[in-house]
Structure 1
Amino acid sequence: MLAPFLIMLREGLEAALLTSIIASYLNKTGRSHYMPAVWIGIFLAIALSFFAGAALQLISAEFPQKIQELFEAIVGFIAVIVLMSMVMWMKKAARTIKDELQHSIDQAFASRSASWALIGMVFFSVAREGLESVFFLLAIFQQSEGYSAPLGAFLGLAVSVILGLLIYHGGLRLNLRLFFRCTGILIIFVAAGLLSGALRNLHEAGIWNHLQQPVWDLSQSLPLSSPLGTLLSGLLGYHETPVLGEVLAYFVFLIGAMLLYFRPVAPQQNAHA
């Protein structure tokens, strides 16, 4: 439950921040009458995300067992790649995202069809977050049972909307740099767990049969069905009986991703100055 909550909280807040910056700039520049275009872009992006998620879920349900395992592995690998791309993008773009969005708005109004350009800008900004969320949630839902994962995703999205509204109306001042730094670290752990789970899916699909020696068996002392096991599984990718390949994939990815994440970012000059 915690992993989908965390992912949707971060994704939802990113989308809320993007739209808040756009809405605030429209108000500041006397263009608030263009807000309906912003809402159209948001609703179109949400509709696309729901359609893509439902389509992928329906398609995968028709697959034979081994093909379904392969599909889940592919979704898991895509989710890991997109997760890391999202984390690294936000790390680099956090300092300049406001200026870049405002510059894009000015470019939209310089075109002949300002409303359509604004709809397109909002649509692509929100749709990117929505489609990223689709792959994350599909990968997590496929490795989870029951309703805890969907509930966690819904709660994370709800909290992100509330925080976004509070930030937009000035009632909440959140240290966004610290928030994204901390959630970025946690999401790297989630991605490592998804990677090891995807490798497990490849084995169950009959494609990957190497490094299958069991490393430990904690099914008696810390089973996945226990509260702590469920917590560790959702947040850190814990498995009670992992094999060598899964453990190696987990820690090699985790160490490499952390080194990349904490590497200093070279200062960039503002291209619009």
Structure 2
Amino acid sequence: MLVPFLIMLREGIEAALIVGIVASYLRVTGRSAWMPAVWCGIILAVGLSFSVFVALHVASAEFPQRTQELFEAVVGLIAVCLLTAMVFWMVRASRSIKAELQHSVDAALASSDHQGLALVGMVFLAVAREGLESAFFLLATFEQNVGYGAPLGAALGLVCAAVFGIALYYGGARLNLRLFFRWTSILIIFVAAGLVATAVRSLHEAGLWNHLQGIAFDISGILPGDSTLGTVLGGLFGYHDTPTHGEVIAYLLYLIPALFLFLMAPTSPSPSKSKAARS
């Protein structure tokens, strides 16, 4: 439940941030009449993301066991790629996302022909990117979790993100986005590393990876995988009490360089530093 909540909270806040910037810019520039086009783009993007999720989830239920394991591995690896791209995109885009979105709105409304369609398309593409990332990650999560916890966590994350978006639009949000995205990005890197290890396990169960299958260590006597804490860590970071050498190597081969590159990436300067630099 916790992982879907955090992921959907972060993805939802990213989408709410984009929509909030666009909506606020339309309001302050006296173009609020175009808000229906913004809502149309949002609805289309959510519909596409939900349709992709449902279609893949339903299709996977019809697969035989080995194909099911292969499907889980592929979806997990796609989720890892999307989550990694999301983390590093936010590092880069956070410095200029507001100006870029405002420029995109101006460009979409600059032409006298098909202005509404251009604005719908701009918002649709921005929100659909977040939605499709969420769809693949949730699919990878739901394949590993049975019950109502994961869907409930995802729904709660979206609700909280929607509340943030409303507060942002009306000027009441005081969340430190730089710190929020930085710490959630670190968490997501660990989550993605767990997905990589889980994908290696699924590939073995599908009969496609039979190397490095010796047990690296056994801590089932200290922290069993089926204990409460073990279950939580398994859902968060892909914890396994008897991982194979291949799973441990895959985990570290992803985690170490990804975490290093993220921590070494330059962060956005604070407002005070920006003012000092301009003066």
With the shorter chain as reference, the TM-score category is over 0.9
Q: Give the aligned partner of residue 72 of structure 1.
A: 72
How far apart are residue 217 of structure 1 and its match? 2.5
2:249 is equivalent to residue 243 of structure 1: no
Report the residue type matching 2:132 in the other structure: L
Q: Give the aligned partner of residue 94 of structure 2.
A: 94
Tell me the distance in 2 between the aligned counterparts of 1:244 and 1:259: 22
Tell me the distance in 2 between the aligned counterparts of 1:125 and 1:266: 22
Secondary structure of 2:109's aligned partner:
helix
How far apart are residue 159 of structure 1 and its match? 1.0
Secondary structure of 2:264's aligned partner:
coil
> Does the 8 Å contact 2:74/2:199 carry over to 1?
yes
2:117 is equivalent to residue 116 of structure 1: yes
Tell me the distance in 2 between the aligned counterparts of 1:236 and 1:66: 24
Q: Give the aligned partner of residue 185 of structure 1.
A: 186
Within-5 A mapping of 1:33-72? 33-72=33-72
2:209 is equivalent to residue 204 of structure 1: no
> Does the 8 Å contact 2:91/2:265 carry over to 1?
no
Report the residue type matching 1:147 in the other structure: Y
> Does the 8 Å contact 1:218/1:240 carry over to 2?
yes
With over 3 angstroms needed to count, the CA separation of the structure-2 counterparts of 1:151 and 1:218, relative to structure 1, is farther
How far apart are residue 127 of structure 1 and its match? 0.6
How far apart are residue 240 of structure 1 and its match? 1.6
How far apart are residue 265 of structure 1 and its match? 3.5
How far apart are residue 142 of structure 1 and its match? 0.9
How far apart are residue 266 of structure 1 and its match? 9.1
Q: Over aligned residues, Cα RMSD in angstroms?
A: 1.3
Tell me the distance in 1 between the aligned counterparts of 2:267 and 2:88: 13
Q: Give the aligned partner of residue 270 of structure 1.
A: none
Structure 1 spans left out of the alignment, 5+ residues: 268-273
How far apart are residue 200 of structure 1 and its match? 0.5
| Runs of 4+ residues over 4 Å off in structure 1 | none
Structure 2 spans left out of the alignment, 5+ residues: 269-279
Within-5 A mapping of 1:5-44? 5-44=5-44
Report the residue type matching 1:137 in the other structure: L
Report the residue type matching 2:48 in the other structure: L
> Does the 8 Å contact 2:91/2:267 carry over to 1?
no
Tell me the distance in 1 between the aligned counterparts of 2:61 and 2:42: 29
Deviation string 1:82-120 (CA, Å, 9 cap, x unpaired) is 100000000000010000000000000112111110000
Tell me the distance in 1 between the aligned counterparts of 2:108 and 2:98: 15
Q: Among all aligned residue pairs of Structure 1 and Structure 2, give the percentage whose two residues are the same amino acid.
A: 62
Deviation string 1:155-185 (CA, Å, 9 cap, x unpaired) is 1111111112112212221110000000000
Report the residue type matching 1:109 in the other structure: L
Tell me the distance in 2 between the aligned counterparts of 1:138 and 1:266: 31
How far apart are residue 264 of structure 1 and its match? 3.0
Tell me the distance in 2 between the aligned counterparts of 1:142 and 1:220: 27
> Does the 8 Å contact 2:195/2:237 carry over to 1?
no
> Does the 8 Å contact 2:66/2:205 carry over to 1?
yes
Q: Give the aligned partner of residue 271 of structure 2.
A: none
Secondary structure of 2:13's aligned partner:
helix
Q: TM-score, structure 1 length as denominator?
A: 0.95
How far apart are residue 148 of structure 1 and its match? 1.4
2:253 is equivalent to residue 259 of structure 1: no
> Does the 8 Å contact 2:218/2:243 carry over to 1?
yes
Within-5 A mapping of 1:133-172? 133-172=134-173
> Does the 8 Å contact 1:189/1:237 carry over to 2?
no
Tell me the distance in 1 between the aligned counterparts of 2:134 and 2:75: 12
Report the residue type matching 1:165 in the other structure: I
Deviation string 1:52-102 (CA, Å, 9 cap, x unpaired) is 001101111111111111111000110001100000000000010000000
> Does the 8 Å contact 2:66/2:206 carry over to 1?
yes
Q: Give the aligned partner of residue 105 of structure 1.
A: 105
Tell me the distance in 2 between the aligned counterparts of 1:223 and 1:157: 32
Tell me the distance in 2 between the aligned counterparts of 1:142 and 1:266: 35
